[in-house]
Chains A and B, each alone.
Chain A
Amino acid sequence: MSLDLKFTYTEKKDTRSGFGDGFLEAGRRNPNVVGLCADLIGSLKMGDFQKEFPERFFQTGIAEANMIGISAGLAIGGKIPFAGTFANFATGRVYDQIRQSVAYSQKNVKICASHAGLTLGEDGATHQILEDLGMMKMLPHMTVINPCDYNQTKAATLAIAEYEGPVYLRFGRPSWPVFTPADQKFEIGKAWKMIDGKDVTIFATGHLVWEAVVAEAMLRSEGISAEVINIHTIKPLDEEAILESVKKTGCAVSAEEHQLNGGLGDSIAQCLIRNNPAPLEYVGVNDSFGESGTPTQLLEKYGLNAENIVKAAKKALSRK
């Protein structure tokens, strides 16, 4: 069966390359932008920036705690540091450093976290962090962003360079459909309604926005009209957009490459329960670690792909 998709793509690219290209561009636009990386320059695609601005780039070696502290210091000195490593080592390993030296001290540090979630693939659970959004969104002053494709990640990277304050930017490793426009404007904290619908809302973030786009077409082929909203900013959450959509559709699904505990779904649930209680189904990882496999296999096994979003949407509808 061929699906009538509302968004299509001609190429696949990794979101980390969107970060790397955005970072280079941000460096060209603003001489205060500096970079740091803990022995993962290639993986984070920070090499072009390093080559062009060697005096503004710092290799920290495998020492993430130190990297966060140095970033806070650079921010005190008026620089805009982008500190890059894998999402696991950018959060859990350095939570206290981020908490005290960045969030509490309100330093203009951009924590750039690649290889987040299951789609990191074969490296397995030691590297597949599924708790980072929760940890980061709990920190006062922290802005948390999880863009969906190459273009959106590049746009987000440029946007956070211009925003003053601590940011957690999460992206990933796999080659993924590039389905959003190259010239998009990225507004921090502003959800993007990608597809209009009336029966159920799908709130998705990161790689799962693409799965939501596919799910919408599947649902439509069965006569169900789904609205798809791209929540690239987990915090601050665009509550207005969420409430407006659910007021119309009456039920919702959240979709994220993250634990159900503490993720986007929890933020949405909190918003709905306080304002407009409505059925909400979660698509995410249910209190387990990941494992080795290809991204597609893992999304299937852990219940995170388009089929699972369709199932969740039907369940939400049945609870209306």
Chain B
Amino acid sequence: MEKQSIEQLQNICTQLRRDVLRMVHAVQSGHPGAPLGCAEFFVALYFDQLHHNSDFKMDGKGEDLFFLSNGHLSAGWYSVLSRSGYFPVSELKTFRKLDSRLQGHPATHEHLPGIRIASGSLGQGLSVALGVAQAKKIDKDDHLIYVLMGDGELQEGQVWEAAMYAAHHGVDNLIATIDYNGQQIDGPTEKIMDLKNLKAKWEAFGWEVIETKEGNDMKSVIDGLEKAKSLTGKGKPVLNLLYTEMGFGVDFMVGTHKWHGSPPNDEQLAKALGQLQETLGDY
């Protein structure tokens, strides 16, 4: 894929946000908040960072692979997958409907290109990513494994089992990103179950930690991922703390947990789309 300019990448983000809102609105269900906040990350990864083939192979040998642990961001992932050529953009309209490959949470049984494992039950994706990373090491394939987790998701114990394992086994071909939006279903993480000093926690577990303070700025997101990449291959797993805002891009959705799992109504959709210019053409 040709390198895209920051402006071009930003245009894709805007389209991704439109896709997400229209998808969850159409079925009046799904999760708009976090995918809006992770638009820059998804687009930077798929359109700038990953060495991947949209010609999908399950084992992903010879390419970088991405895993979505926080499966409720499915609308955003489906949008970026279709926009980068894994399946027709028109298929986005089947999201969450009967007989669709675009299940409410990502699934493999209908063989949707780009998806390698189901997610939705939180806390499992880092472990899976570690397994694939180790398979790559056995095969002497020097491509990277990426995984995205939510910050609330870090309350699951399995994540810390995986964190301990990754450092012990020196899984240094892996970059884990945390969607550090400070929100979860019932409220701000601080109130629900305070994550306290995440950077220190991951460092104490033996990880190399970088912080991307402007997670909704395309240039910063790319710089962060570049920096993370430069730290791979040095014996330690790499963590990217990505500071984002839930609901970013729509003024009445930003910065609150209220849009974690609520779709906009007709009026709200119109208002939201008015703030997001159609750039690549709606599905």
Residues on A facing B (Cβ under 8 Å): 34, 55-56, 58, 60-61, 63, 65-79, 81, 96-97, 99-101, 104-107
Contacts and interface: CB of A to CB of B under 8 A. Distances in A.
Interface in B30-58: 58
6 contacts: A61-B164, A66-B162, A67-B127, A69-B130, A74-B134, A100-B119
B232 interface: no
Interface residues of B, number: 37
B138 A34 contact: yes
Interface of B: 58-61, 107-109, 116-121, 123-136, 138-139, 157-158, 161-162, 164-165, 168-169
Contact of A69 (B120, B131, B135): B131
A54 to B, nearest CB: 12
Contact of B128 (A58, A73, A96): A73
Contacts of B58: 76
B136 A77 contact: yes
A77 B121 contact: no
B116 A76 contact: yes
A101 B134 contact: no
Given A77-B132, A104-B109, 18 more contacts: A56-B138, A58-B134, A58-B169, A60-B161, A65-B161, A66-B130, A69-B162, A73-B129, A73-B130, A76-B59, A76-B117, A77-B135, A77-B136, A79-B135, A96-B121, A100-B118, A101-B118, A106-B109
Given A63-B165, A76-B135, A105 B157 contact: no
A69 B158 contact: yes
A72 B157 CA distance: 18
Given A66-B165, A79-B138, A100-B118, A73 B127 contact: yes
Contacts of B164: 61, 63
Q: Binding site of B, secondary structure by majority: helix, strand, loop or mixed?
A: helix
Contacts of A73: 117, 127-135
A70 B108 contact: no
A191 B169 CA distance: 42
From A60, A66, A72, A100, name the one whose CB has the most chain B CB atoms within 10 angstroms: A66
Contacts of B107: 104-105
Query: Which of A58, A69, A101 has the most B CB atoms < 10 Å from its CB?
Result: A69
A60 B121 CA distance: 21
Contacts of A66: 127, 130, 158, 161-162, 165
A71 B161 contact: no
Nearest to B156: A65
Contacts of B124: 65, 69, 97, 100-101
Given A77-B59, A78-B59, A69 B136 contact: no
Contacts of B61: 77-78
Contacts of A105: 107-108, 117-118
B64 to A, nearest CB: 13
A76 B128 contact: yes
Contact of A104 (B118, B126, B129, B168): B118
Top 7 nearest A-B pairs (CB, nearest first) are A73-B131, A77-B135, A69-B127, A63-B161, A66-B161, A70-B131, A73-B132
B165 A70 contact: yes
A76 B161 CA distance: 20
A34 B139 CA distance: 12
Contacts of A71: 131
Contacts of A67: 127
A101 B158 CA distance: 13
A77 B58 CA distance: 8
A68 B161 CA distance: 11
B139 A77 contact: yes
A107 B116 CA distance: 10
A303 B123 CA distance: 41
A72 B128 contact: yes
Nearest to B69: A69
B157 A107 contact: no
A72 B136 contact: no
Nearest to B58: A76
Contacts of A101: 117-118, 124, 127-128
Nearest to B158: A65
Q: Which residue among B59, B116, B161, B168 has the maximum number of chain A CB atoms within 10 Å of its CB?
A: B161
A55 B138 contact: yes
Nearest to B106: A105
A65 B130 contact: no
A135 to B, nearest CB: 16
A99 B119 CA distance: 11
Nearest to B121: A100
Contact of A76 (B132, B158, B162, B168): B132
B158 A97 contact: yes
Contacts of B131: 69-77, 81
